[in-house]
Amino acid sequence: MGWTLMIHGGAGSMRPGVLTDAEDQGAREGLTAALEAGAAILRDGGDAVDAVEAAVRVLEDDPHFNAGRGSVYTWEGRIECDAAIMDGRGREAGAIAGVTATRHPVSLARAVMTESPHVLLSSAGADAFSAHVGQEQATQDWFATPERRRQLDEIKAHPDMPFDSAMKYGTVGAVAVDEAGHVAAATSTGGLTAKRWGRIGDSPLIGAGTYADDRAAAISCTGSGEHYIRLGLAHELCARLRLTDAGLDATADAMVEELTALGGKGGFITVTPQGEARWAFNTPGMYRGVVGRDRPLKVAIYGED
């Protein structure tokens, strides 16, 4: 079926009328730009890993999404980013958590994968590694936006309200299969508004929110991270595809059912080495998009899109 690229920008309460016209249009433009960046690589015979990194970098620079610029604040008023990337060819992976000064967290995750013997670096150590390997740095002011500060102030004024109660801004991710049949996945997030005590979600945890295996699929998740961690959802989906004959649609549906049964909310995107592509979510909407050699570019937000 040729190359395919899928992206997401978070799952949540997005319905027509919940988003303003400007938010709707801005998100769609951001998703389109990310698809075009990744497709330019895959169209020329490039690697899936390069494509998912390129797509996520675009979303990290777009303040409509909760990753990179536009990331949410911690309780203490800091911005701490998490990201992961994985290459399905040899299951190499890199991830970072609690990073405060790298413009493109997904590229730092890739540097962990290619320039270190490790998989996951965190906090001050990850920041130091970022400078050591020459990643582009950015100040906290560059990441910050007035809307994210407003969200933090609202939660701190009402400490009993649920985290990210509006759920309009989410984790970003990309999955791809290239012309050679190799898959890759990447995920990036600012986490939860008002997160405390060094909380880390599923996005940088290989097998929870991010996974890629040429024997099965690539997957990137978004939603209530603690539930994805408990399920090991990303690896579980790939393992079921590899070890059973259930097929992508049935397996994806089963994973959403299990997520829902645990009380989790969110969704995921996934592609197989054969070019099958699927998104699935149990929320009213999910920022998402797909393009491929034989698939016209499409972006969507709401469940009915």
Characterise 282 by phi-psi region: left (phi > 0), alpha (psi -120 to 50), beta (else): alpha
Pick the catalytic residue from 4, 102, 171, 193. Answer: 171
Please state, in angstroms and as integers, the Cα–Cα distance from residue 220 to each residue in 83, 125, 237, 270, following that order.
Answer: 11, 25, 11, 7
Beta bridge pairs of residue 219: 211, 270
Q: Read off the tokens for 211.
A: 């996974």
Q: 123: which residues sit within 8 A by CB, 6+ positions away? A: 80, 97, 98, 99, 198
> Can you give the C-alpha Rg of the chain in angstroms?
17
Give which of 197, 194, 243, 198 is closest to 217, Cα–Cα: 243
Q: What whole-number distance in Å separates Cα of residue 96 and Cα of residue 81?
A: 8
Q: Which long-range contacts (CB under 8 A, 24 or more apart) does 115-122 make?
A: 118/94, 119/93, 119/94, 119/95, 119/206, 120/94, 120/95, 120/96, 120/204, 120/205, 120/206, 121/95, 121/96, 121/97, 122/96, 122/97, 122/98, 122/200
b/e string for 217-254 if b means 16 or more Cβ within 10 A?
A: bbbbbbbbbbbbbebbbbbbbbbbbeeeeeebeebbee
Residue 193 appears among annotated catalytic residues: no
Tell me the three state secondary structure of residue 78. coil
Which residues are known to be catalytic?
Answer: 171
